[in-house]
């Protein structure tokens, strides 16, 4: 079996066992907000922007998800620029001011390292606005590196609920003889598993109360467009892009 396959199999099982309680807490918090008409907000920079997209506007996903992304903070901007912009103070408030965040809603901040200034300040801003902050991060990495924020705090030290992707420090998981570094980063794979596990748990909570969960159908399946438009109409103006 290839080494990455072995590692990923063990990783998913580790996440399943170790994160069950916090996944349950996060799901209950999101469900309570959505049941009351709230929206689930998701933020990520760097490669974590792909995980924010994983939660947003896709078949089998939740409809009331608002993605908070800025192109300048992703690798779609030259990485030499975007990685520096992640470290600048003051951007978080400007970014969040463009979104309708309301007290009692949930904000997920995704950052493998959990140390860059923008992610830390988005979490701080979210809490100051009365949102519950969920961190999706790597504790093994974050606990062994210093914050780049002036207050010295890392994302996991600010969040109300922590979802650990259980990855290796530095993210890459596979080492080879005569190779100084490692290859095979796992944060996106693990993060996608966590986000979709969270979605399933939220849906289960809706069903347990006899409620219809707000879930997207594939636009490439019969009736998908009509189903999705009906749901989206309920959240127009609250979700970016609708």
Predicted pLDDT at 240: 85
**Low-confidence residues of the chain: pLDDT under 70:** 1
Q: Which residues are within 8 A (CB) of 101 and not within 5 positions of it... i.e. 6 or more apart?
A: 41, 107, 126, 129, 131
Predicted pLDDT at 242: 84
Distance from C-alpha of 172 to C-alpha of 182, rounded to nearest angstrom:
5
Q: What is the pLDDT of residues 125-169, one digit of tens each?
A: 999 999 999 999 999 999 999 999 999 999 999 999 999 999 999
Predicted TM-score (pTM) of the model is 0.96
CB contact at 8 A, 149 and 121: yes
**If DSSP states are collapsed to H, E and C, what string results for 66-98?**
EEECCHHHCCCCCHHHHHHHCCCCCHHHHHHCC
Predicted pLDDT at 221: 96
Predicted pLDDT at 147: 97
Distance from C-alpha of 144 to C-alpha of 9, rounded to nearest angstrom:
25
- DSSP output for 35-57: HTT--EEEEE-GGGHHHHHHTSS
Predicted pLDDT at 241: 84
Q: What is the pLDDT of residues 193-215, one digit of tens each?
A: 999 999 999 999 999 999 999 99
């Amino acid at each position: 079996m290839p080494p990455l396959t072995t590692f990923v199999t063990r990783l998913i099982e580790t996440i399943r066992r170790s994160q069950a309680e916090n996944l349950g807490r996060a799901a209950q918090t999101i469900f309570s907000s959505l049941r009351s008409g709230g929206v689930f907000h998701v933020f990520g920079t760097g490669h974590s922007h792909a995980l924010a997209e994983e939660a947003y506007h896709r078949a089998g996903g939740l409809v009331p998800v608002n993605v908070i992304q800025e192109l300048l903070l992703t690798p779609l901007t030259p990485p030499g620029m975007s990685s520096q912009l992640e470290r600048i103070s003051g951007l978080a408030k400007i970014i969040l001011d463009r979104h309708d965040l309301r007290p009692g809603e949930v904000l997920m901040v995704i950052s493998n390292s959990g140390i860059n200034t923008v992610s830390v300040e988005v979490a701080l801003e979210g809490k100051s606005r009365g949102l519950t902050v969920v961190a999706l991060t790597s504790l093994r990495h974050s606990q062994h590196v210093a914050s780049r924020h002036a207050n010295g705090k890392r994302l996991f030290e600010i969040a109300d609920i922590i979802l650990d992707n259980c990855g290796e420090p530095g993210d890459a998981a596979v080492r080879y003889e005569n190779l100084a570094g490692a290859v095979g980063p796992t944060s996106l794979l693990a993060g996608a598993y966590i986000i979709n596990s969270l979605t399933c748990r939220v849906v289960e909570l809706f069903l347990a109360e006899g409620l219809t969960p707000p879930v997207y159908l594939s636009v490439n399946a019969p009736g998908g467009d009509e189903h999705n438009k009906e749901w989206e109409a309920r959240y127009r103006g609250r979700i970016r892009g609708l």
